[in-house]
Amino acid sequence: MTALYSYNEQSRTYKVIPDITTGLVDSALTTDAVSGECTCTGSLKEVAYTVYVTAKEPDAISKVSYYSIEEVRAEVVIYETPVKSACGQITHV
């Protein structure tokens, strides 16, 4: 992963999370026993990635030309605030 962002739904803005190692946490789903509302923190919003390849000529193992993956770069966006909905309903697609 090369970049991590958080997304604020109210202001519709993205913010860079400078430390990828501490900024990305496991998502957690909780259910309110009284209201039946579900809340998920650390929800994934989107992922964008780029794959860098190099064209290779046939060799002893591969008898045809092929592409070798050199690098994969990913940008991940998580929701800044918990996603809430009635349990069993999708609010973000």
Place 36 in a pLDDT band, splitting at 50, 70 and 90.
confident
CA distance 60 to 58: 7
pLDDT tens digits for 55-82? 999 988 888 999 999 999 999 999 988 8
Computed over every residue of the chain, the mean pLDDT equals: 86
Does residue 42 come out as left (phi exceeding 0), alpha (psi in the -120 to 50 range) or beta? left
The mean pLDDT value for 46-52 works out to 94
Q: Is the pLDDT of residue 92 over 70?
A: no
User: Considering the entire predicted model, what is its pTM?
Assistant: 0.68
